[in-house]
């Protein structure tokens, strides 16, 4: 069951959707090759790579996941609702794919590198699927990647220095097995819509 958005989260999700649609208008093919449940962004010229470090200290890029459908989500481990819901749905999708589940790669990019250490990220991924990859980097690296992905994030101070929260865009980016950005799913679309689009991309690849 989904928890309702706060007004702030609705604004952030809406901003992420508007950015995705803006990219679609600016750089996408006018004739999409497939029918998707999410927003077709085939041909988009943003969100091109993820040059960050995973929870094991290994440098990563999207090329590492060639041959798989890649689903990328930006969040942080202390997020109370949107992030665990999104990652939990992604784990459900992988399970529903059965034998084809090994051709789905979940990627979680933290927007809170201060608290999301490699150990914390590794434990967090284990809650959903140990094959999922969590990425982090320096503040400068994350800012550059967020700009390329049109992601919004901002620290919101709490009553103590360590009790802050992070406002952030809520949506998932789907790449086909050839490494091309194809679909944007806004938060709340549900696992069935995500599953349908993953299957479409896998079927395209054969």
Please calculate the CA angle 194-200-203 and round it to the nearest 5 degrees.
Answer: 140
Q: Which of 59, 20, 18, 56 is nearest to 141 (CA)?
A: 59
Looking at the DSSP bridge assignments, the partners of residue 184 are: 39, 173
Binding-site residue numbers for Cu cation are 79, 83, 168
Q: Which of 39, 11, 32 is nearest to 193 (CA)?
A: 39
Binding-site residue numbers are 79, 83, 168
Largest CA distance in the chain: 53
Phi-psi label, residue 12: left if phi above 0, alpha if psi -120 to 50, beta otherwise: alpha
Give CA–CA dist 190/7, Å, rounded. Answer: 20
Question: For the chain, what's the residue count?
Answer: 206
Cα end-to-end span (Å), the chain = 33
Strands 39-40 and 181-186: antiparallel
**Residues 60, 54 contacting (CB under 8 angstroms):** yes
Rounded to the nearest 5°, which phi and psi values hold at 197? -75, -35
């Amino acid at each position: 069951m989904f928890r309702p958005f706060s007004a702030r989260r609705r604004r952030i999700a809406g901003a992420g959707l508007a950015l995705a649609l803006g990219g679609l208008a600016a750089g996408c093919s006018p004739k999409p090759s497939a029918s998707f449940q999410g927003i077709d962004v085939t041909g988009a010229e943003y969100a091109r790579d993820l040059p960050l470090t995973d929870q094991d200290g290994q440098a990563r890029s999207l090329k590492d996941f060639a041959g798989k459908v890649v689903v990328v989500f930006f969040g942080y481990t202390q997020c109370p609702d949107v992030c665990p819901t999104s990652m939990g749905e992604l784990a459900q999708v992988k399970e529903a794919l059965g034998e084809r589940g090994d051709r789905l790669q979940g990627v979680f990019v933290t927007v809170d590198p201060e608290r999301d250490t490699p150990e914390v990220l590794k434990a967090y991924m284990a809650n959903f699927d140990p094959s999922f990859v969590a990425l982090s980097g320096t503040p400068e690296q994350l800012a550059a990647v967020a700009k390329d992905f049109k992601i919004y994030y901002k620290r919101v101070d709490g009553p103590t220095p360590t009790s802050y929260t992070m406002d952030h865009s809520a949506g998932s980016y789907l790449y086909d097995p050839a490494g091309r950005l194809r679909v944007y799913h806004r938060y709340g679309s549900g696992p069935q819509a995500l599953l349908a689009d993953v299957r479409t991309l896998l079927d395209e690849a054969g």
